Amino acid sequence: MARKAPGINTGSMADISFLLLTFFLLTSSINTEQGIPRRLPPPKDENAKDIKADINKRNVLNVLVNFNDALWVNGEELNISQLKEKAKEFLENPANQANLPEKEIKEIDNIGEFAVSKGVISLTNDQSTSYEMYVQVQNELEKAVNELRDKVAVSYFGKKYDALDTALRKSVQKAIPMNISEAPPIDYSKAE
């Protein structure tokens, strides 16, 4: 009678595989995209009466990109290369002009008292706006905020915003907030 070859006990192999899988899932990091940091409008309440909010118009910069990729800022047609400077001037309001946003004095950690702009950039685009134009507008608005943050960071801390540690970055973010509100796209070609 021939001897049977001893077999390998594979009963615990499934347990070991499960433990290894669990270990790698818990210890690995998954890159999650952060998206574009924007303030979206609140959902429309169907039961609420049509009450207009008391918003000071000087605090809002209306940016519109229509279906022809034309850029309009507060009713004035601009070239994309002019948008960054227009947004910077609006948010900073260096001469405290009456047609630009109000400022509110706030106490900010690591900075002290700082005049924070109440300005909000309201971005609206058409459904037919090209993706390239949409991204260009987003980039220019982001550059405007980043340049203002760099200016504050250099004047208070001697370094650009990206070189600051987390606590100092948060202080600069409070001084120069990313107040860009994005409305849902509208189909202007069918609008009345």
Domain-wise residue ranges, the chain? 57-182
pLDDT at 85: 94
pLDDT at 116: 92
**Angle separating helix axes 131-157 and 166-175, nearest 10 degrees:** 110
pLDDT at 2: 72
- Give first-to-last CA distance, the chain, whole Å: 95
pLDDT at 91: 92
Tokens of 132: 């390239």
User: What are the pLDDT tens digits along the chain (192 aa)?
Assistant: 677 777 777 777 888 888 899 988 888 877 766 666 665 555 666 665 544 444 578 899 999 999 889 999 998 999 999 999 999 999 998 888 888 899 999 999 999 999 999 999 999 988 888 989 999 999 999 999 999 999 999 999 999 999 999 999 999 999 999 888 888 887 765 554
- The Cβ-side half-sphere exposure at 144, using a 13 Å CA radius, reads 26
Number of other CB atoms surrounding residue 84 within 10 Å: 18
Q: Of the candidates 137, 151, 142, 1, which has an alpha carbon nearest to the alpha carbon of residue 81?
A: 137
For residues 183 and 185, what is the distance between their CA atoms, to the nearest angstrom?
Answer: 6
Residues making up the chain, counted from first to last: 192
For residues 11 and 9, what is the distance between their CA atoms, to the nearest angstrom?
Answer: 6
pLDDT at 176: 94
Q: Which residue has the tokens 């990729």?
A: 69
For residues 126 and 70, what is the distance between their CA atoms, to the nearest angstrom?
Answer: 10
